[in-house]
Structure 1
Amino acid sequence: MTHPTDSGKTAAALRYLRARITSGEWTLNSRIPREHELMVAIGVGKSTLREAVRSLTSLGMLEPIRGVGTFVRSRTPVNSVIADYIADFPVADILGYRRSLEIESARQAAVNRSEEQLQTLTALLDDSRNAGAESTLPFSHARAPGSFHHTVVEASGNLLLLNMYTCTIAAVRRHRQSGDLQAPDLPQLRREDHSVILRAIRDRDPHAAAAAMAAHVSHDITPGPGAVGPTG
């Protein structure tokens, strides 16, 4: 039986980790501090910290990768049932669905975004972590859309869009790891695309925001050499 003190320590560790994820202090696809650093910062032991990490991993918010570290995968819990359902579709269908979610999110973000969200997007544009790339990771664990994209979806103000997006990106990452998808490493092009999207959202121009996002998502993730085409 878990001692109440242990339970309280685990809850404290969970609050600490989750607060840094949901606030964006730890950006999507970034590696969180090492285990020893977190134990010192939170004031808990290894088993307590690992229990908290396991809890957030089960929610799809963290992903531990053996020998590399633990990475932020979502700022909100991911519905694993929906993510599994989406992942079962052909790669082309998943990319098309993801494209439609991001385009509509950009359109709604241009109308509904707050000044705080605009400031966050502006900061992320110049944040090297926003590339979403873990350069130390093996190829199979490479990049998926990061904090800039997620913040655009949040700025839409549409909770259903956000929930479906987090599930879709979980499915995208799964296919990315298996080699079915590829994300070309083009940081300058990505920054230019993000700049155009940001400008349209800043100017509250929904048509321009949707067009800019459509152009961007057409090339930021593409089917890999081993991808299976659509069925039918």
Structure 2
Amino acid sequence: MPQLHRAPLADQAAEQLLARIRSGEWPLGGRLPGETTLAPQLGVGRSTVREAIRQLAGRGVLASRQGAGVFVTALDAPDDWESVLRRADIVSVIEARIAIEVEATALAAERRSPAQLRAIRRALDARALETDLEPHVDADIAFHRAVVVASQNAVLLELFDGVTPRSRLAMIDMLRLRGAHGGEADQEAHARIVEAIRAHDGASAASLAREHLGAMKAPLV
């Protein structure tokens, strides 16, 4: 089994055990190996294994029976309520962004000036350079704001700026849940939006913006 190095170790160990349960390594009602066996397999100490087992017991996956061991009581863990609420909040923000940005992107394709197109391209290039999570989110917001500015609609820009503080927190939370951000495919999706704006193709620009934001929403619902 792969060793676990990232903190918190107990959370990582719990997820590794859950993955093994989901894979069928231990059947429903099956007994897990003892701590002395699991600890070296996971690359953690016995106290970390105990904490991981407590976590999964709290999620209804495992049960400890005095003198008998630890047994599988469910083959998967239901989402905890906090995680459900976090995802629901992120979805609400993405839906607000769809309402604002799809139309703004279409208008930007129709109305953008050469100077505004250059600003959008600079923002796209700057976005690609930011690899740390929070600076990446800030660069992404700057890109999308440049697009909304190019729509030349003051009300849409006011709406975008109004939702930005909450949007920023939601995007950071989403990327932390996802465990990854950026990448060539993501940057290319933004580049296609820029190309549609350059070409004055409002229909394609709106479709691409909706596709991009919809892809962010899909795994959360």
User: Normalised by the size of structure 1, how large is the TM-score?
Assistant: 0.48
Shift, 1:164, TM fit: 0.7
Contact 1:132–1:146 under 8 Å retained in 2: no
Q: Residue 171 of structure 1 is aligned with which of 145, 166, 186?
A: 166
Kindly report which structure 2 residues correspond to 1:1-232, keeping only aligned pairs within 5 A, or say none. Answer: 90-125=89-124, 127=125, 129-131=126-128, 133=130, 135=132, 143=137, 145-176=140-171, 182=177, 184-220=180-216
Shift, 1:178, TM fit: 5.6
Unpaired stretches in structure 2, ≥5 consecutive residues: 1-87
Unpaired stretches in structure 1, ≥5 consecutive residues: 1-88
2-side partners of 1:136 and 1:174: how far apart?
Answer: 11
Contact 2:133–2:181 under 8 Å retained in 1: no
Shift, 1:114, TM fit: 0.5
Q: What is the count of residue pairs matched by the alignment? A: 133
Structure showing the higher helix proportion among its residues: 2
Shift, 1:202, TM fit: 0.9
Residue identity opposite 2:207 in structure 1: A
Shift, 1:193, TM fit: 0.9
Change (3 A) 1:123 1:132: closer
2-side partners of 1:136 and 1:216: how far apart?
Answer: 19
Contact 1:193–1:216 under 8 Å retained in 2: yes
Residue identity opposite 2:167 in structure 1: V
Give SS of 2:137's match. Answer: coil
Contact 1:132–1:147 under 8 Å retained in 2: no
Contact 2:93–2:170 under 8 Å retained in 1: no
1-side partners of 2:175 and 2:120: how far apart?
Answer: 29
1-side partners of 2:215 and 2:109: how far apart?
Answer: 22
Task: Give the alignment's Cα RMSD to 1 decimal.
Answer: 3.1
2-side partners of 1:93 and 1:109: how far apart?
Answer: 24
Residue identity opposite 1:169 in structure 2: T
Give SS of 1:143's match. Answer: helix
Contact 1:190–1:220 under 8 Å retained in 2: no
Larger Rg: 2
